[in-house]
Amino acid sequence: MATADLSPRRAVAAWRVYQDTLGGRVLSFLQVLRELGAFAMITLVVTLTKFNKSKRVVHPLIVTHIWRAGIMLLPMVSFMGVALGLVIIGQTVALLTRVGAQDYIGTVMVTVVVRELGPLLAAFLVLARSGTSNVVELGTARALGEVEALESLGIDPIHYLVMPRVIGLSLAVFCLTTYMVLIGIASGYLFAFMQDVPLTLGAYLSQLIEALRWQDFALLMVKTTMFGCVIAVVNCYHGLARPLNIEDVSQVTTRAVVESVIGVVLIDAVFLVGYFFA
Amino acid sequence: MSPEVLIELQKIDVMREDGPATIVRDVSWTISRGEFWVICGPPSGGKSSLLATAVGLSRPSGESLRIFGRNLAEATEAEQVDWRRRIGFVFENGGRLLSHLTVAQNVALPLEYHSAMSEAELDAKVEEVLRRAELVAQAHTMPSRLNLRVQQRAGLMRALIVPTEVLVLDNPLNGLSPRDARWWLDYLRELQVQQAGNGKPLTFIVTSDDFRDWLDLADRFALIRNNELHMLGNREQLLANKDAGVLEFL
């Protein structure tokens, strides 16, 4: 029988192996966190000190990344915004009407769409489309030696490759979130209207205005910008930080996506606490 | 008056890029203005790593590495950027062009990044350079659609578009047809004569699998053997060398 074979000595050995593995994972996680932090600081310093350096080369790259991460995603974000508004109102309107609380539809939209789902969905869409492609592009460039080629030309790879992506993705997530929230709010009312909910547009907008606070705008801007920064920094780090072979690119892409999701959710949790104190 | 020393390595260990292993140890090497160096060695023997280390692209370990009179360990970022502008580096196997830029954009990049030239001046300079390299027809093509010969020439033009004092070529003739290899040798000879005539002799550092291709051009030869860099002297000394390890590359 299996349990009879598990003598105390073996149990202790198995526990030690488990501890070593867990400890190794924790240390590895802390190491990655440290390296990501250092990479983020370097990127920040380069952005602050070299933003206007060689701007006719670098500023068009920023525009390119805003286009790729932002404008190109508008159709998808529109679709998700409509779906978001329909889903939220569809799920809540019947319940609220049943308990005579249709006056809280606007509050629900603000709490769910403006503060939480809108920013998260926009961030994940940008990650799925632009974040992954950034890791693949940069990882491939690293594997092919293009980063060394840039260095040999006296071009700072952080200035040329990372800074435009960080600025582009940060602005894109912020703008797409704002766009998605507006679309979601509009589609939410449309669904309520189609469901014959006794709620005029004026009343709906009044509810929204009453539920919104100035802190919502400030925190939305800061949160979404941070989402974009985290996605860009994590993806650029995994694409560039270590020597890569072509066959490693898919693996680092997966790792970058997972770490980006974790980073975004952790930031969201921090802001959730902030909403309570704001 | 002895020529100006541009690059000086004192007991430097050349490391592999992907790990801490030493691939060429205890390198002491002085490169002066106007010299034409050719380094040979076995495949994966450290020739590319040696070049990257000598120009400060890879961090060395050892006593000291001085580039343009300045110790690498003490150099500021601005100084290192200045070195990179004065040293043109052409990588092996296609020159490592940036895959998201066309040939013309690749060639223009260092000039566009470092200078304040107008768009019109930049375009004119790039066109002139591409014409000399016989690459005008490929100017708007992405590197992935081009063969090695074209990519390598574009890499050379990218290295030379900014005024250069040291030209580093990593096995430039590798994989080229005899006709294309002849183009390279003729071009480098023309460049050498032109720069000497202007009073600004260009310094060349070349790696190769064969000394014979370079006997007419080069005046300094070295060999990587058993993880060490051996100086073989000038052309006469090289040809007089009867060591089997040297004859292998002749």
Positive or negative: CA dihedral A20, A22, A26, A29: positive
Predicted model pTM: 0.88
> Stretch A120-149: mean pLDDT, rounded?
93
Residue B147, Cβ density class (10 Å: 0-12 exposed, 13-18 middle, ≥19 buried): exposed
| pLDDT attached to residue A249 | 87
| pLDDT attached to residue A3 | 52
Q: Does B18 touch chain A (CB under 8 A)?
A: yes
**Number of C-beta neighbours around residue B93 at 10 A:** 15
| pLDDT attached to residue A175 | 95
- For B7, which DSSP code? E
Q: Whole-number mean pLDDT of chain B?
A: 91
CA-to-CA distance for B6 and B30, rounded, in angstroms? 8
Q: Does A154 touch chain B (CB under 8 A)?
A: yes
List the single residue in A152, A160, A243 with the smallest CB-CB distance to B57: A152
B98: left (phi over 0), alpha (psi -120 to 50) or beta: beta
- Cβ contacts below 8 Å, chain A against chain B, sum to 59
What is the token pair recorded at B27? 């390198």
CB A184 within 8 A of CB A109: yes
Tell me the pLDDT tens digit for each residue of A65-77: 999 999 999 999 9
| pLDDT attached to residue A273 | 83
Q: Does B82 touch chain A (CB under 8 A)?
A: yes
Closest residue in B to A159 (Cα–Cα): B113
Q: Does B79 touch chain A (CB under 8 A)?
A: no
Does B110 sit within 8 Å of A54, measured CB to CB?
Answer: no
pLDDT over 90 (residue B232): yes
CB B98 within 8 A of CB A141: yes
Does A141 sit within 8 Å of B96, measured CB to CB?
Answer: no
CA-to-CA distance for A181 and B229, rounded, in angstroms? 65
Q: Does A140 touch chain B (CB under 8 A)?
A: yes
- Chain A contact set for B110 (CB, 8 A): 153-155
Percent of residues, chain A, with pLDDT higher than 70? 97
Of the CA atoms within 13 Å of residue A198, those in its CB half-sphere come to 7
CA-to-CA distance for B121 and B124, rounded, in angstroms? 5
Q: Annotate A134-154 with b (16+ C-beta within 10 A) or e (fewer).
A: bbbbbbebbbbbbbbbbbbbb
> Stretch A201-219: mean pLDDT, rounded?
86
Interface test with A, best of B113, B121, B205 (most A CBs within 10 A): B113
Beta bridge partners of B231: B222
ipTM of the complex: 0.91
> Stretch A82-107: mean pLDDT, rounded?
80
Tell me the pLDDT tens digit for each residue of A5-43: 568 888 888 888 888 888 988 998 899 889 999 999 999
- Chain B contact set for A150 (CB, 8 A): 98
Closest residue in B to A244 (Cα–Cα): B18
What is the token pair recorded at A209? 């205005």
- Per-residue HEC secondary structure of B162-226 comes to CCCCEEEEECCCCCCCHHHHHHHHHHHHHHHHHHHHCCCCCEEEEEECCCHHHCCCCCEEEEEEC
A268 Cβ contact list (under 8 Å, min separation 6): A116, A119, A120, A223
Q: Does B16 touch chain A (CB under 8 A)?
A: no
Interface test with B, best of A152, A160, A161, A247 (most B CBs within 10 A): A152
**Helix count and strand count (H, E) for chain B:** 8, 10
Question: In which band, very low, low, confident or very high, does the pLDDT at A1 lie, cut at 50, 70 and 90?
Answer: very low
B42 Cβ contact list (under 8 Å, min separation 6): B224, B225
pLDDT over 80 (residue A275): no
Closest residue in A to B97 (Cα–Cα): A146
Nearest 5°: the CA angle B183, B187, B190 is 140
Nearest 5°: the CA angle B142, B145, B147 is 115
pLDDT over 70 (residue A2): no
List the single range of A82-91, A144-153, A172-181, B16-25 with lowest mean pLDDT.
B16-25
Q: Does B114 touch chain A (CB under 8 A)?
A: yes
Does A154 sit within 8 Å of B109, measured CB to CB?
Answer: no
Taking Cα atoms as reference points, which of A119, A143, A131 lies closest to residue A233?
A131
Taking Cα atoms as reference points, which of A89, A95, A122 lies closest to residue A190?
A89
> Stretch A224-250: mean pLDDT, rounded?
90
- For B143, which DSSP code? G
List the single residue in A137, A151, A154 with the smallest CB-CB distance to B114: A154
